[in-house]
C-alpha cells in the first residue's frame, strides 16, 4: 500500500497538466504517452486498473478478420497495422498465433472463398504475420483431432496475436510506464465532481478504500471512462458528436480442450453464423465470445449464455466427455463500448454485430476536455498518440515522441537477463514440467524488474518456490507485486495482476493454505481484512486460509 499512499499524497491538492479519468486500456495508454512526453499527469480509476471492460476481452491483438464480412477494409488495415506494431514492440508478451477455422456444411462460406479471405487478410495485414497455409479436412484431423470433422468441408488458417498473460496485466504495464515517467496514479479513486474555476478544472476525488475526499486541479481532463464517458460528459454539460452503445460478450474458462501440443486458436461459426473461438490460456481453454445488445454497462453471465456456448462447442468438438456446467472454472463478462453518431436514430434496428469497432476522439477546446469513445486493446498505441496530439493542441507543451513510453526493453537487455538466469540455473527451480521455463516467465511478466528478482533468489532460494500449489506464482513475484504493482485488494492480484481467479478452480483457491501467505506478503498486518473482503465476510474465510491460532480457537 506504500506505493498507493505515496501517489495519493501527490494527488491531494496537486496541480497537473492533465487528469485522466479511467484506468482501462485507453486511460492507461493516455497516461503513459502524456507522462512519457513530459506532461504532469494524474490517473485515477474508481476500481482497480482494468477492472471493467479491459479485463473482459478475448486477449487477442488482431486486425479483425471477421470485420471483412462487413467490408470494413480500412478498419482492418488500421487494426492490422496496430497489431503489427504491438507485436514488434512486445515480442514476449504478444505472440503470433494461428487461427484454425473448420468450416462445416452449414457454414456461410465455402472453404475456397474463406481461403481467399484469409489470403486477403494477410495482404491487408501488410504481411505482418506468417502466410496463411491451405487447410483441408485431413490436415485438420491430423493436427487437431479434437475438432469434430464429420460435417467439415474444409478449413482455413490465418494468423494474429495473443496476449500471453492477460489483458488486465497488459493494461497495468502502461500504468507502470506512466508511473516510471512521473505520473501520479491511483486505483480506487473516484471522480466525485469536476468544476471549472478560473480556467482550470477543480476535481473532487474520493478514495473509495478509505472514504477520504480531497481536491486536485488540472488544466485539462481526458475522459477515458469507457462505457461511462457519456455519463461524465453529461455531468459536465458537454455535448458530443458521438455516443456509446453497449454490446455484451462473455467467455468461459474450461480445462484445456485441444488434444495436441499445437498452440492454436480454434475458430467456429456458431448457429447464428457468428465466429467464436477456443483460445489457449496456459493449461486452460477460453471459449467465446458472444455479442448481445444490452442497455446497461453492468452485465453478468447468465445460465442461458453458458448453456449456449457449451452447446455450440459440444456440437463442434469431438471431446471424450461433452463439456458441462461443472467444467466451467470461471467466466468473463463485459460490454464493448461501441461508438455511434449522436442522432443516428434508434440503434435497436441495426444489426448489432455490424456496428463498427472504430474509436473516436473528440475535443472540447472551450472546456479543455478530450473524450475517447470506444476502441480496442489492439488500437491502444494509436489512442495514446492521438490523445497526446489533442492535448498538445490545447496548449500543453509535450516533448518529441521518442516512442519510449511503450514496449519491452531492448533485445540486449533481454539477452543479459537470459545470461544471468542461465548462470544461476534459474530454470532448475521449476517444479512442474508442464509449465514454461522461469526465465521466459519472469522476463515477460516483469521486464527490467526481473533483474532484482534474480538477486532476491540468489540471496534466498526460497524466493523461487511456488506459493500457491496450482497457481504458478513464485514467492519473489508476490514481493515484487507488493512493492510495485499497487495491489490494493486481494482480487487485484488474483484476477488482474495474475490470472489465478481465472485458471484455478474456486475449490482449490479455498483449500490453498498458500493464499494466506499471498495475503501476508501483499498486505502485511492488513492480511486478514483483505482475505475477509475477498471471501465476502470474516465468517466466510475458509479454514485453510485462516491464521493457525483461529483454527485452534475454532
Ligand atoms: C467480450 C469482449 C471481447 C473483447 N475482445 C477484444 C480483443 O480480443 N481484442 C481487442 O483489441 N479488444 C477487445 N475488446 C475491446 C476492448 O476490451 C475494449 O475496447 C477496451 O477494453 C475498452 O477500454 P476502455 O479503457 O475504453 O474502457 P474500460 O476498460 O471500461 O475502462 C474505463 C474505466 O473507467 C473507470 N471509471 C468510470 N467512471 C469513473 C469515475 N467517475 N471515476 C473514476 N473512474 C471511472 C471504470 O472503473 C473503468 O475501469 C473486447 C471487449 C469485450 C467486451
Q: What is the pLDDT of residues 175-208, one digit of tens each?
A: 999 999 999 999 999 999 999 999 999 999 999 9
What confidence tens digit (pLDDT) does each residue in 371-410 have? 999 989 999 999 999 999 999 999 999 999 999 999 999 9
**Which of 83, 377, 384, 496 gets mutated to test ligand 1 (max ligand atoms within 8 A of its CB)?**
377
Q: What percent of the chain has pLDDT over 90?
A: 82
pLDDT of residue 530: 97
Write the residue with the smallest CA distance to atom 33 of ligand 1: 22
Convert the pLDDT of each residue in 38-90 to its tens digit: 999 999 999 999 999 999 999 999 999 988 988 889 989 999 999 999 999 99
138 or 398, which is more confident: 398
Q: Percentage of residues in the chain with pLDDT exceeding 70? A: 96
Closest-CA residue, ligand 1 atom 9, reads 60
Please give the torsion angle defined by the CA atoms of residues 382, 388, 393 and 395, in that order, rounded to the nearest 10 degrees. 180
Q: How far apart are CA 434 and CA 282, in angstroms?
A: 10
Write down the pLDDT at residue 354.
61
Q: How many angstroms separate the CA atoms of 453 and 463, rounded?
A: 8
Ligand 1 atom closest to Cα of 297?
A: 30
**170 Cα to the center of ligand 1, angstroms:** 13
Residue predicted with more confidence, 288 or 551: 288
Tell me the average pLDDT across 336-342: 92
Residue 28 Cα: closest atom of ligand 1: 25
Residue 12 host element (H or E): none
Query: CB atoms < 10 A from the CB of 528, how many?
Result: 18
Ligand 1 contact, 64 CB (< 6 A): no
Tens of pLDDT, residues 447-478: 999 999 999 999 999 999 999 877 889 999 99
d(CA 470, CA 511): 11
| Residue 161 CB less than 6 A away from ligand 1 | no
pTM: 0.96
The pairing of beta strand 292-294 with beta strand 189-197:
unpaired
Cell reading at 274: 457468428
DSSP annotation of 78 reads H
Q: Are strands 189-197 and 200-207 parallel, antiparallel or unpaired?
A: antiparallel
Q: In angstroms, what is the span from residue 52 Cα to ligand 1's centroid?
A: 6
* pLDDT tens digits along 248-278: 999 999 999 987 666 899 999 888 888 899 9
For residue 554, what pLDDT is reported?
43
Tell me how far apart the alpha carbons of residues 447 and 441 are, in angstroms, rounded to a whole number: 10
From ligand 1's centre to the CA of 190, what distance in Å? 16
* Total count of residues recorded for the chain: 554
Ligand 1 close to Cβ of residue 148 (< 6 A): no
Place of cell 502485511: 524
Pairwise pLDDT comparison (102 vs 233), residue with the higher score: 233
What's the pLDDT at 31? 98
* Centroid of ligand 1 to alpha carbon of 296 (angstroms): 14
Ligand 1 within 6 A of CB of 7: no
> Per-residue pLDDT averaged across 137-159, rounded?
90
Centre of ligand 1 from the C-alpha of residue 388, in Å: 19
Protein residue with its CA nearest to atom 30 in ligand 1: 53
Closest ligand 1 atom, CA of 192? 41
In ligand 1, which atom is closest to the CA atom of 336?
53
* Contacts of 220 by beta carbon, 8 Å cutoff, 6+ apart: 17, 18, 19, 201, 368, 369, 370, 391, 394, 396
Q: How far is the C-alpha of 436 from the C-alpha of 111, rounded, in Å?
A: 35
Q: What's the gap in Å between 552 CA and the centre of ligand 1?
A: 45
Q: Determine whether 41 is exposed, middle or buried from the number of CB atoms within 10 Å of its CB (0-12, 13-18, 19+).
A: buried
Burial classification of residue 293, based on how many CB atoms lie within 10 Å of its CB (0-12 exposed, 13-18 middle, 19 or more buried): middle
Which ligand 1 atom sits nearest the alpha carbon of residue 48?
Answer: 49
Q: Ligand 1 centre and the CA of 109: distance in Å?
A: 32
Residue 53 Cβ contacting ligand 1 at under 6 Å: yes
Q: What is the mean pLDDT of the chain?
A: 93
Reply yes or no on whether the pLDDT at 107 is more than 90.
no
Residue 515 has pLDDT above 90, yes or no: yes
User: Residues 464, 474: contact at Cβ < 8 Å?
Assistant: yes
What pLDDT is attached to residue 455?
Answer: 98
Amino acid at each position: 500500500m506504500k506505493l498507493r499512499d505515496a501517489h495519493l499524497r501527490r494527488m491531494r491538492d496537486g496541480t497537473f497538466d492533465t487528469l485522466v479519468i479511467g484506468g482501462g486500456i485507453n486511460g492507461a495508454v493516455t497516461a503513459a504517452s502524456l507522462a512519457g512526453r513530459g506532461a504532469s499527469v494524474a490517473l485515477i480509476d474508481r476500481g482497480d486498473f482494468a477492472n471493467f471492460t479491459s479485463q473482459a476481452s478475448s486477449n487477442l491483438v488482431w486486425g479483425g478478420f471477421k470485420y471483412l464480412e462487413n467490408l470494413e477494409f480500412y478498419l482492418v488495415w488500421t487494426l492490422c497495422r496496430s497489431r503489427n506494431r504491438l507485436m514488434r514492440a512486445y515480442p514476449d508478451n504478444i505472440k503470433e498465433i494461428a487461427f484454425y477455422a473448420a468450416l462445416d456444411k452449414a457454414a456461410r462460406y465455402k472453404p475456397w472463398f474463406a481461403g481467399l479471405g484469409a489470403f486477403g487478410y494477410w495482404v491487408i495485414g501488410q504481411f505482418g504475420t506468417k502466410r496463411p497455409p491451405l487447410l483441408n479436412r485431413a490436415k485438420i484431423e491430423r493436427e487437431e483431432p479434437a475438432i469434430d470433422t464429420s460435417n467439415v468441408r474444409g478449413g482455413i488458417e490465418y494468423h494474429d496475436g495473443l496476449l500471453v498473460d492477460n489483458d488486465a496485466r497488459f493494461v497495468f504495464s502502461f500504468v507502470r510506464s506512466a508511473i516510471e515517467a512521473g505520473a501520479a496514479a491511483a486505483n480506487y479513486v473516484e471522480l466525485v465532481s469536476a468544476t471549472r474555476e478560473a480556467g482550470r478544472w477543480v476535481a473532487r476525488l474520493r478514495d473509495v478504500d478509505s472514504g477520504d475526499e480531497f481536491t486536485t486541479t488540472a488544466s485539462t481532463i481526458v475522459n477515458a471512462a469507457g462505457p461511462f464517458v457519456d455519463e461524465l460528459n453529461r455531468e459536465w454539460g458537454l455535448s458530443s458528436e458521438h455516443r456509446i452503445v453497449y454490446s455484451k460478450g462473455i467467455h468461459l474458462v474450461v480445462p484445456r480442450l485441444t488434444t495436441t501440443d499445437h498452440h492454436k486458436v480454434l475458430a467456429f461459426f456458431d448457429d447464428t453464423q457468428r465466429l467464436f473461438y477456443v483460445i489457449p490460456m496456459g493449461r486452460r481453454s477460453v471459449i467465446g465470445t458472444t455479442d448481445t445488445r444490452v442497455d446497461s454497462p453492468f452485465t453478468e453471465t447468465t445460465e442461458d449464455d453458458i448453456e449456449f456456448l457449451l452447446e455450440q462447442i459440444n456440437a463442434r468438438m469431438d471431446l471424450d466427455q461433452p463439456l458441462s456446467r461443472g467444467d466451467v472454472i470461471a467466466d468473463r463478462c463485459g460490454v464493448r463500448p461501441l461508438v455511434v453518431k449522436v442522432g443516428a436514430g434508434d440503434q435497436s434496428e441495426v444489426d448489432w454485430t455490424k456496428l463498427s469497432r472504430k474509436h473516436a476522439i473528440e475535443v472540447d477546446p472551450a472546456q479543455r476536455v478530450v473524450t475517447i469513445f470506444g476502441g480496442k486493446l489492439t488500437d491502444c498505441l494509436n489512442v495514446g498518440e492521438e490523445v497526446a496530439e489533442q492535448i498538445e493542441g490545447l496548449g500543453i507543451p509535450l516533448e518529441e515522441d521518442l516512442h519510449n513510453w511503450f514496449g519491452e526493453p531492448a533485445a540486449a537487455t533481454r539477452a543479459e537477463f537470459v545470461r544471468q538466469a542461465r548462470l544461476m540455473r534459474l530454470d532448475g527451480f521449476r517444479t512442474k514440467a508442464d509449465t514454461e521455463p522461469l526465465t521466459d516467465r519472469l522476463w515477460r511478466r516483469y521486464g527490467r524488474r526481473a533483474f532484482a528478482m534474480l538477486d532476491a533468489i540468489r540471496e534466498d532460494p526460497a524466493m523461487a518456490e511456488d506459493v500457491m500449489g496450482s497457481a504458478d506464482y513464485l514467492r519473489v513475484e508476490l514481493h515484487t507485486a507488493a512493492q510495485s504493482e499497487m495491489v490494493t485488494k486481494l482480487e487485484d492480484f488474483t484476477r488482474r495482476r495474475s490470472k489465478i481467479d481465472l485458471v484455478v478452480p474456486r475449490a482449490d483457491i479455498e483449500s490453498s493454505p498458500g493464499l494466506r501467505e499471498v495475503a501476508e506478503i501483499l498486505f502485511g498486518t492488513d492480511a486478514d481484512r483483505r482475505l475477509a473482503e475477498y471471501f465476502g465476510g470474516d465468517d466466510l474465510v475458509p479454514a485453510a486460509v485462516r491464521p493457525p491460532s483461529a483454527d485452534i480457537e475454532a
